Structure 1
């Protein structure tokens, strides 16, 4: 079991601003700080780019139907003519023809395969959009939490600065300290108040961005954080485990693979067009006012030219480019997976170091404040140690949140949270 680090901080009040808030109650699970899965899915239903991506699947289905039907159509020809023979006798004649090109040598099967691959691309693209939206949500979510905790630390610091200022005023009135000590205390009080105002502005902007980008998602308000988990302590082979987990189901890689196969199918289909498709038809005519009736069958075949050869060459080049892009995406995805694993491991180590420094700085600052109250040290020493303690506290909180965010990002990339059904 992991101990919960509880910070005695003031809760962020969003009721006054009309914002709803979701209390995030920390427990042993580092992922407990995230919004519930059901809430995320409901929010994603309102995001335009995901709705458009879902429509793209329907569009791909329509395009598949078009490919299955083919782009050839029936052509009807009707002709009326008048014949005049050598004796000056005139006859009315009518002609009707119906013809249509046909796909042969497996071209129809290839078109159906291209349509199926188009649907696969649309689904992979939608899944990739879902994953990228999840990443963006994760970033914005932790940004609100990070600014909230900075605000809470500054509110604590403001209370302490007010206490130091009150002590300085008493000591100056009692004649135990020079006037400049009171000026130093007041200056520090104003500095902390200004920092708090800046942080409150950043909190408000982060909340506005979260609510604008993810309609219906409730704002997180955290008063405690769960402890991050050391991946190396979980599993000695954690790097290989997480790398395999991320690589085996990666939407960006699946999309690049499907696109490369799609372009390859298109190139193969264009190559088949080096043998032109024939046009088959039937012909019926009435000659000499119906004295003669003709019924026949027609077939026509175009002669391939330089345009077809150039098109095949271009399609082959596009297929090669798509394969090179696939190799590039494979390298990129593997690198990003390793970086995500390393980030989760290193942020944990950094947090442990900064948390230890925070505890030492806090202890030192409390001792110096007591010493100043007793007149054993000057105001400068008390303020400097308090500044160091504040910086260490903010750095420790930031490092802990970074470690939790990296751990959540790792699970997101491995599709263990918020996975598309």
Structure 2
């Protein structure tokens, strides 16, 4: 047996030696790599795989997503069409439909936000959208163009989005305000009567009326004979949509009864509605502000006259009542509101909404042809 084993071993050696130049034969006798003994960890360490971050995924559902905040009001007569939401953050967009008219839907959300202590951020824009914020949750309602008899709208929500920097009582981040307006805004805020401000948001008619009243009276804090008087109650409100129960009734009524804001008290042909949540337009800003600069009857004005003085190509689009305020503002020279707020322009764009920063800049100075007072001067006067 030993002899036979020795013989077989010699044959194998001879065979291997003879095949050393044959690649095919070498593969026959090569060791199986899967059967090789792995090296020890000490000899060849293998790197640990790095965990990959969980990607943010947008998902779509036919029901409200789990991250939909319970504090958001839901229109009771609306049916959910679609919901897109983030799996990593509390944000998303839901789409709804209802047979109720659009104005009812908007009024519902406006009332619900007000009653539930939300802060309304936008007024009635061109698309009639509505935005509101409550703590770190922001919601936007936007309406879509659909066929008659149906209202479709989207409700977008996001938690954790930082609000626009608050600038109140002279403090706050004004870095987002354009450089030409920044100084004016800072000076007016230093008077300490503005409250919360979002400089780049559109200003509503209600908000500007409040600012106009408060800042004007603060500027003339030492001259009560120049101040506008608040009217707490009256049997005949100047506007149907500003009843005595409205929180801004006294000051809006005061401005109306002083003839600063046109109303049915000054002319029965004027609208009976104030539209407090509508955006303030450029021509309305001039119509309300300039009378407190001039303090006398506004001059007569024509479209051709405005074209010659201001050089506005769109003078024909200005409301005839506001046209007189635009003419009077030109007579104020370098203190003109138009120059301070909008700079040099050949297009007045009278129907364009005004931002809060622009509205505040208009309040930086009250006066006419050199006789007046600026916000920095008023800051040194005790109210």
TM exceeding 0.5: no
Pick the structure with more helix per residue.
1
Bigger relative contact order (CA 8 A; separation at least 6): 1
TM bin, normalised by shorter chain, reads: under 0.3
Q: Structure 1-normalised TM-score?
A: 0.16
- Structure 2-normalised TM-score? 0.17
